[in-house]
Amino acid sequence: MSFSTIHASLFSVLALSLAACGARVAAMDNGDGAARDAATDAVVATDAAPPTPLRCEPGQWCWQSPLPQGNALHAVYTVSASEAWAVGARGTIVHYANGRWTSVRSPTDFDLRQLWGASASEVWAIGDSGERTMPRRDVLLRWNGAQWSEVAFGPDPTVISIDGSGPDNIWLVTNSTTGASLRRWSGGAFVAAPALPEGARAQSLCVRSATELWVTAGNARGSFPTMLYRWDGAAWTLAHRAEDGSGERFNSPVFCPADGVAIAGYFDFNRGQETYLEVRNGMVGGDRPALPRATGPRLTRTPHGEVFYSNSNEAVQWTPMGWRRSFAIPNVSVYSANFDRLLDGSAGWFASATPFVSSWVEGAWRADPATITGALRLFVAPVGLNATDPIAAFGDRVWARRDGARWVYAETPTIANGMQLSVNDAWGVDTNRMWLVGEAGAIALYNASAQSITAATVEDIGTGAMQDIDGLDANNVWAVGDGATVRRLVGDRWVAPSVALPRVVDGLTLSDLNLTAVDVRAADDVMILGNDVAGGRFASVFFRWNGMTWSASMSFGTTLQRFDRDTRGDVYTVEGSTVKKRPAAGGAWVEIGDVTGSVQRLRVWGPDEIELVQSSREGAGLYRWDIDRRAFTVDGAIVPVDGITNVVTGIDIAGAGSSLWAAGAFGAVLRYEPRR
């Protein structure tokens, strides 16, 4: 299925475009030009015109595919039938207006997870730093009709929730390790609001009007919320309190869908029962009916005040007359989705932790179950077709190929054990063909001219994943994987080597050997890395084939997953956060330098010419060892988005430096051009 087909089925509107990562938004031209909206500093791109040459603003990463954008979206707010907002990972903010989605300048790179709005010129978002800062910090943003800006919310580091009945009646719950605070918008700043009675600590709120506000609270020690308070414009009154020893507590925020009504999810620890509490005009209802618990129902409230409980892909809406089934989203879990609809049901949007939002049209959600969510793990560039820039990318049940300025996506075929191909590694056998290895013992052949993937003939195909492949020429190609699987190419068939790997090394029996990497230097020089729990200890084993027999050496400690050899044959590996090497003839490991994140790929060229892809809190990047600085330094810039699994070097333009390409989750393809 092509990417254009995905967009046609997912939207009747034009595609989203993500702001390029960094302080400025990168202008991308996808055929009919990129137009900048002065009010929102947004970049508009469509996906309908013929392709044009790829362009990327120098000095920063920009999205090439898929459009609309690639960061996960966590929350949506529907302003009207013609306007909406969505926010998500790493400060992503996108705006729907004039029949299209555009990216908007964000004042933060924190993950944005909540949205609430009172009007087109009064929209608020809450986010947090996650692991980017320790301890974690929260951020509160405001859209005033012209721009987004960060707003101080008081001395507490955490803002839990925001709600209001209009632009002049907005409340917050903020929190710290020593207590919680209620704060109210004064028109220019958040100031302290009337506090709850002593001993009560606010944990959620909903605002119906200036004279009706509800708060759930625990005790001063920050226990589970067991109390429900109401503000009548002058004072707090206790509407409900769980009996001591009852095992009851609120397990959802409080919602107020109608005048005089408050609803909150309730859980009884003693009986293991999921229910809800409903208060009408200060009176708690009778028996609290249990909600269906098949997949763990969750109460949720839209920014417009509608209250639902969700169960799998079905949403059930609260009405004054009781709960009624409202809608279902085919093949999408409502439980993990965030959505908002206008009260008349005429328009709405939902996000489900993917880079896409889907619209509510004519009483139903336009959700596309074929939306690309797989991760592209690697790029390929058969030399005869393109010596530098990649022409294809492969990953988890999805692959993509270059078609001029576009990347065209397709599902991978089902080729092994009835499972769809999920590619872990690739190796080019000649200028047109590429071997692929992946899950379920799969080995397949990619033909660049035919743009096809076909299953290879594999003897004794297993169920474990094939993890790595390497070769010297068409007659010397090896692949390894889980379950001590080793295969070599003989003619057009993949067979087990005539001599099996030794299963006793240094006097210890290998019982659960998984192979993670292979390096082929000659017909009589093949090295394989595996790991096992040998003798009750974690062990890494290096096997070496000399053309006739295997030799093996073992080391204990952190299990090694990656290795490579330089032109002299010295072996390099990553142990924990340290890159090490040892001579080709064996001997002690020598520490080279430390890394600050998780290493996803290791390549070595000449002695100490080390290249690795590293992922950290800041993002993923291509790093090279700087022998003068004795440190790994990033090449180009870090990709400040989630889910990037690979970064590769592209073409060097007129000696100005190489372009970089990145691939990752949601079928992401990004490009970086150095500054001239």
CA distances from 359 to 77, 312, 339, 638 (A): 12, 19, 10, 33
The token pair that represents 256 in the structure block? 């107020």
Encoded tokens for 332: 């999408």
Cβ pair 459, 494 in contact under 8 A: yes
The pLDDT value recorded for residue 369 is: 45
Q: What does the alpha-carbon distance between residue 567 and residue 610 come to, in Å, rounded to a whole number?
A: 12
Residue type, 529: L
pLDDT grade, residue 25 (50/70/90)? very low
Give the per-residue pLDDT at 346.
Answer: 86
pLDDT band at 56 (very low <50, low <70, confident <90, very high): low
Strand partners, 248: 268
pLDDT per position as a tens digit, 156-214: 999 999 999 999 999 999 998 888 899 999 888 999 999 999 989 999 999 999 999 99
651, pLDDT greater than 80? no
Residues whose CB is less than 8 angstroms from the CB of residue 234 and which lie 6 or more positions away in sequence, other chains included:
none
Sign of CA dihedral 60, 66, 67, 73: negative
pLDDT of residue 46: 28
Contacting residues for 193 by C-beta, under 8 A, at least 6 apart: 171, 181, 182, 183, 184
519-531 confidence digits (pLDDT tens): 999 999 999 999 9
pLDDT at 517: 97
Distance CA 237, CA 257 (A): 19
pLDDT at 333 over 90: no
* Residue 430 clears pLDDT 80, i.e. is over it: yes
Residue 367: its pLDDT value, please? 58
Residue 512 pLDDT exceeds 80: yes
pLDDT per position as a tens digit, 355-399: 677 787 767 777 554 456 688 999 988 766 666 788 899 999 999
Model confidence band, residue 52 (pLDDT cutoffs 50, 70, 90): very low
For residue 67, the model assigns a pLDDT of 63
Question: pLDDT at position 284, please?
Answer: 78
Average pLDDT, integer, range 86-99 = 90
Number of residues in the chain: 676
Please give the pLDDT value at position 290.
Answer: 44
Identify the pLDDT of residue 295.
38
Side chain identity, residue 308:
F
Model pLDDT, residue 416: 77
* Most confident listed range (41-55, 186-200, 299-313): 186-200
> Which pLDDT belongs to residue 202?
94
Q: Give me the sheet containing 111-119, strands edge to edge.
A: 111-119, 122-128, 138-143, 148-150
User: What tokens does 24 get?
Assistant: 């400025």
Average of per-residue pLDDT values in the chain: 83
Interval 261-274: pLDDT, tens: 999 988 888 877 77
- Domains and their CATH numbers in the chain: 372-496 (2.130.10.10)
- Mean pLDDT of the region 405-412: 86
In whole angstroms, what is the distance from residue 279 CA to residue 228 CA? Answer: 10
> 451: alpha, beta or left, given left = phi > 0 and alpha = psi -120 to 50?
left
Under a CB-based contact definition with an 8 Å cutoff, are residues 430 and 406 in contact?
Answer: no
Got the DSSP string for 97-142?
ETTEEEE---S--SEEEEEEEEETTEEEEEEE-TTSSSS--EEEEE
Tell me how far apart the alpha carbons of residues 563 and 502 are, in angstroms, rounded to a whole number: 20
Q: For residue 5, is pLDDT > 50?
A: no
Return the pLDDT at 196. 95
Q: Please enumerate, as own/partner, the contacts of 172-177 that have beta carbons within 8 Å and a separation of 24 or more.
A: 172/140, 173/202, 173/203, 173/204, 173/205, 173/215
Least trusted range by pLDDT, from 11-20, 101-110, 273-282, 466-475: 11-20
- Mean pLDDT for 227-241 is 94
Verdict on whether the full-model pTM lies above 0.85: no
Phi and psi torsions of 229, nearest 5°: -115, 155
Relative to beta strand 111-119, strand 122-128 is: antiparallel
Q: Is the pLDDT of residue 320 over 50?
A: yes
Spatial separation of the C-alpha atoms in residues 131 and 619, rounded to whole Å: 11
Q: How far is CA 273 from CA 228, 247, 276, in A?
A: 19, 10, 10
Q: How many CA atoms lie within 13 A of 213 on its CB side?
A: 30
Q: 3-state DSSP: the chain helix, strand, coil percent, rounded to 5?
A: 5, 55, 45
Selection from 113, 167, 171 nearest residue 138 by Cα: 113
Whether the pLDDT of residue 114 is over 50: the answer is yes
- Percent over 90 (pLDDT), the chain: 47
Look at residue 656 in the predicted model and tell me its pLDDT: 63
State the DSSP code for 667: G
For residue 385, the model assigns a pLDDT of 63
pLDDT tens-digit readout, 582-595: 999 888 999 999 99
Residue 131 or 80, more confident: 80
Which residues sit opposite 611 in a β-bridge?
603, 624
pLDDT above 70 as % of the chain: 86
598 or 641, which is more confident: 598
Is 60 exceeded by the pLDDT of residue 41? no
